[in-house]
């Protein structure tokens, strides 16, 4: 099966940098996604990592270490609109998990002035 852990809540200050961690244990791995979900809205795609290393996309970066079962999402120059829930999702592979994205419970980030 899949098990994904991320912190429940984080708070940071506008303009600062915040790192949201995600650890996973999986029987098959085909990539890791990060999604952003504002309250009352649907999740939207932020990033995808399938190989080890850092993927940068503007103010957001995502890192993956497959050997450690670890990823993080890094948000720079925080803005008030970044207050949202951030979801880590592992894309499975193999007989039982192929094609399935399994989500962590999400990290609610609050950005304060």
Residues from 51 through 110 that contact other proteins (CB under 8 A): 87, 89, 91, 93, 98-106
Burial of 60 (0-12, 13-18, 19+ CB in 10 A): middle
Q: Is 28 in the site for other proteins (CB under 8 A)?
A: no
* The one among 7, 21, 23, 48 contacting other proteins by CB under 8 A: 48
* The one among 10, 21, 23, 31 contacting other proteins by CB under 8 A: 31
Shorter beta-carbon distance to other proteins: residue 76 or 93: 93
Q: Is 33 in the site for other proteins (CB under 8 A)?
A: yes
Distance CA 111, CA 15 (A): 9
SS3 of residue 82 by DSSP: helix
Distance CA 87, CA 85 (A): 6
Q: What are phi and psi of 61, to 5 degrees?
A: -135, 150
Strand partners, 45: 35
Q: Is 45 in the site for other proteins (CB under 8 A)?
A: yes
- Applying CB under 8 A, the residues found at the interface with other proteins are 30-31, 33, 35, 41-45, 48, 50, 87, 89, 91, 93, 98-106
């Amino acid at each position: 099966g899949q098990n994904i852990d991320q912190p429940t809540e984080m708070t940071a200050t506008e303009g600062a940098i915040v790192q949201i961690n995600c650890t996973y244990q999986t029987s098959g791995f085909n990539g890791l996604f990060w999604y952003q979900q504002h309250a009352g809205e649907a999740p939207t795609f932020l990033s995808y990592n399938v190989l080890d290393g850092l993927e940068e996309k503007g103010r957001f970066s995502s890192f993956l270490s497959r050997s450690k079962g670890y990823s993080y999402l890094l948000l720079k120059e925080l803005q008030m609109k970044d207050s949202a829930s951030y979801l880590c999702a592992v894309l499975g592979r193999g007989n039982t998990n192929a094609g399935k994205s399994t989500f962590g419970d999400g990290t609610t980030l609050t950005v304060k002035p």
